[in-house]
Homo-oligomer: A and B are copies of this chain.
Amino acid sequence: MTVDSTAGAGKAPRAAKKAAPRTRAKAKAPRTATTAAAPELVQLLTPEGERVEHPDYSIDLSPQELRGLYRDMVLTRRFDGEAAALQRQGELGLWASLLGQEAAQIGSGRALRDDDYVFPTYREHGVAWCRGVDPLNLLGMFRGVNHGGWDPNQNNFHLYTIVIGSQTLHATGYAMGAQMDGTDSAVIAYFGDGASSQGDVNEAFTFAAVYNAPVIFFCQNNQWAISEPTEKQTRVPLYQRAAGFGFPGVRVDGNDVLAVMAVTRAALERARTGQGPMLIEAFTYRMGAHTTSDDPTRYRHDDEREAWALKDPISRLRTYLADNGLADEEFLADIDAESDRMAKRVREGVRNMPDPETLAIFDNVYADGHALVDEERAAFAEYQASFADAAAGEGH
Check: A87 CB closer than 8 A to any chain B CB.
no
User: Contacts A240-B244, A241-B244, A243-B244 known; A203 to B202 CB distance under 8 Å?
Assistant: yes
- Interface stretch, picked from A94-102, A193-201, A267-275, A381-389, is A193-201
Q: Are B245 and A243 in contact (CB under 8 A)?
A: no
Q: Are B232 and A236 in contact (CB under 8 A)?
A: no
> For chain A residues 221-251, which have a beta carbon within 8 Å of chain B?
231-236, 240-246, 249
Give the secondary structure class of A's interface. helix
> For chain A residues 330-382, which have a beta carbon within 8 Å of chain B?
none
Q: Are B210 and A199 in contact (CB under 8 A)?
A: no
Residue of A209, A241, A243, A249 with highest tally of chain B CB at under 10 A: A241
User: Contacts A199-B198, A199-B199, A200-B199 known; A233 to B206 CB distance under 8 Å?
Assistant: yes
Name the one of B206, B231, B243 contacting A240, with C-beta atoms under 8 angstroms: B243
* Interchain CA distance A363-B132 in the complex, whole Å: 61
Please indicate the chain B residues that have their CB under 8 angstroms from the CB of A241 in the complex.
244-245
Nearest CB in chain B: distance from A249 CB, A: 8
Please indicate the chain B residues that have their CB under 8 angstroms from the CB of A199 in the complex.
198-200, 202-203
Question: What are some 14 contacts across the A-B interface (CB < 8 A)?
Answer: A196-B206, A197-B203, A198-B199, A199-B200, A199-B203, A206-B234, A210-B231, A234-B245, A235-B245, A235-B246, A236-B244, A241-B245, A242-B244, A244-B244
